[in-house]
Amino acid sequence: MSTALIVLAAGKGTRMDSDLPKVLHRIAHAPMLWHAMRAGRALEPEACIVVAGHEAALVEASAKDYDPEAQVVIQSQQLGTAHAVAQARPALEGFGGNAIVLYGDTPFIREETLEAMLEARAQHDVVVLGFEAADPGRYGRLVTQGDDLERIVEFKDASDEERAITLCNSGVVCAKAETLFNLIDAVGNDNASGEYYLTDIVGIARARELSATVVRCDEGETLGVNSRAELAAAERLFQTRRRAEMMDDGVSFQAPDTVFLAWDTYIGGDTEVEPNVVFGPDVTVESGARIRAFSHLEGAHVSRGSVVGPFARLRPGAELAENVHVGNFVEIKNAVLHDGVKANHLTYIGDAEIGARTNIGAGTVTCNYDGVFKHKTTIGSDAFIGSDTMLVAPVTLGNGAMTASGSTITQDVPSGALAVARARQETKPGLATKLFDKLRARKAKQIKGAE
């Protein structure tokens, strides 16, 4: 049976004290909304409906950045979760499959958990995701009888006996779309908050002799984010889990707690990551690479056997082929370095293509920007770029070309040629001594005058 996602993302998030909608605050460089949508996307849903409210235009833009086919509907008044889900009804008119309700501020639901809910849905009319809470606090409680879920009670409305229950409600629900909306039609707002609770559908379903059950998950999956402190806690949880997953997959971290990953970072097995490395979005590191300490990578691809750092920066568009060495204080942006290229010290390579086995000397800069336009530098294979060379783009150097140290290259250099572009040195014997004597005498005179 086909599946549709309904992602609730209408809340303002008052406790965030922010002009930005709560669901757009980032965890591991991606909005929380994207994390929630990614979990559901693994189910290959037929439709994804995002319910927006506060700053709906921003939420819609973000949702479509992640999934251009996502549909965004508006909850103009925040009257509760059941009311929010009801806004998705027109978008799912005629849809005969299952609907899963997710939350844009609950970013860690796993694909396997949602699959388990769909499996349970084959046997029950309504499936609710629950968890055993170490500290149940103000969570809604799940009242069960064996495998059957009898009802969900919000903390505000729970008796002392019901508050003693530790099985808590995550808010995630799965039901056939038609069933879900029919149940919502019967939800009222006669409760302590005067809101239309999605949780009420369980009691209504049981009254109609429909079955309901609970699928359990780890409490960490249900972590909701409502404040800056909780956002920081969510970041820590993401990083801890993702590092553990990578180590299980064969990645070595010398000091795991000092390495920070983006939500989409991929690192192949037998790669070694040294301390204090930061991965921004869209980074792929192939197997057997080495990322050395204090490096920062974003929008980059690092191939097998390459070494990056220490203190290196790979910016978007950096493409390192196999066995490339990028050393300390080297920055690469929008550039392809082919097999075996070495740029080991104090270098900027931007908007460039560097041929195989070429050596880039310390202090080299591709001067790619004229203040208006970016220009490309192309260097062939087996070239040698001397230290402190300025390559003023657009410029091309052929295979096996060489530049003399301290040169400013403004014209193409043919294959096999040596380019020297610097002022002729002149040496004046004894002049340094005379100049120093003159300067020291002037300084002594100034000191005496000040006394």
CA distance to 25, 107, 366, 391, per residue, from 62 (Å): 11, 15, 35, 39
DSSP SS3 for 403: strand
| Tokens of residue 424, six digits | 């002729």
The residues carrying an active-site annotation are 345
* Residue 76: strand pairing partners: none
CA distance to 165, 240, 441, per residue, from 434 (Å): 92, 65, 11
Q: Is 321 in contact with 337 (CB distance < 8 Å)?
A: yes
CA angle 136–137–142, rounded 5-degree value: 45
DSSP SS3 for 116: helix
Q: Helices 200-207 and 177-185 meet at what angle, rounded to 10?
A: 100
Q: What secondary structure does DSSP assign to 233-257, as a single string?
A: HHHHHHHHHHHHHHHHTT-EESSGG
Using a 10 angstrom Cβ sphere, with 0-12 exposed, 13-18 middle and 19 or more buried, the burial of residue 160 is exposed
CA distance to 45, 206, 276, 297, per residue, from 309 (Å): 42, 61, 11, 10
Q: If phi over 0 gives left and psi between -120 and 50 gives alpha, with beta otherwise, what is residue 46?
A: alpha
| Tokens of residue 81, six digits | 């979760």
CA distance to 80, 207, 222, 365, 447, per residue, from 169 (Å): 16, 20, 9, 58, 80
The residues near 382 (Cβ < 8 Å, ≥ 6 apart) are 355, 356, 357, 358, 399, 400
The residues near 280 (Cβ < 8 Å, ≥ 6 apart) are 29, 262, 296, 297, 298, 299
Q: If phi over 0 gives left and psi between -120 and 50 gives alpha, with beta otherwise, what is residue 311?
A: left
Q: Is 243 in contact with 256 (CB distance < 8 Å)?
A: yes
CA distance 73 to 132: 33
